[in-house]
Structure 1
């Protein structure tokens, strides 16, 4: 879970302080989670899925459903790269 949270934060182009402001969860908490000192709980996961609903399925199940708008940071990166390549 910690790696997924880090990927979402990094894909969003945010440092932990910015991520904290967006989610309402303290930056120190995100640091603890990403460094394995604390496990993500329901409040943390809800904060992420509220702000980035497109990652909810992937975050919770490791699956994607692009046809339903449920993607992963990797799929988003591929989409952006393909779009840039066609311009």
Structure 2
């Protein structure tokens, strides 16, 4: 019920042509509440973004462990994986740990960055 209500509210924001930043904020609020609610989900998102080759090449963690992290949803994420992903993607550190973005200090999320790129690609007018 809450999800249906939130999606209707997001649609109303879009339809009424509120500023893009308000719409973007509400969209991320929904995303954080309903899609990326756990640290494990966020770690796996960043690991997928990096790709297996980069993970193995640029971290001290081996192929078997990264494969386990990526494909076994029951495995617990260790602080070692958190630290290594934080080194690879420093701009996502806060989001990985907290699920929150703080763009004013350069801490965003992959979805936040993508949405900003998409907003920049829209024609004015």
User: Could you say which TM-score interval applies, normalised by the shorter chain?
Assistant: 0.7 to 0.9
For structure 1, list consecutive stretches of 5 or more residues without a partner in the other structure: none
Tell me which structure has the larger Cα radius of gyration.
Answer: 2
State the distance in 1 between where 2:120 and 2:59 align: 28
For structure 2, list consecutive stretches of 5 or more residues without a partner in the other structure: 1-38
Q: Work out the number of aligned pairs and report it.
A: 84
Match of 1:85, SS state, is coil
List 4+ stretches of structure 1 deviating above 6 A: none
Name the residue aligned to 1:24. Answer: 60
Name the residue aligned to 2:84. Answer: 47
Cα deviation for residue 9 of structure 1 reads 3.2
**2:114 maps to which of 77, 82, 86:** 77
Question: Normalising by structure 1, what TM-score?
Answer: 0.78
**1:62 maps to which of 99, 102, 111:** 99
Give CA deviations for 1:41-70 in whole Å, capped at 9, x if unaligned: 111111111121111111111111011101
Question: Normalising by structure 2, what TM-score?
Answer: 0.57
State the distance in 1 between where 2:79 and 2:97 align: 11
Match of 2:115, SS state, is helix
Two-structure CA RMSD over aligned residues (Å)? 1.9
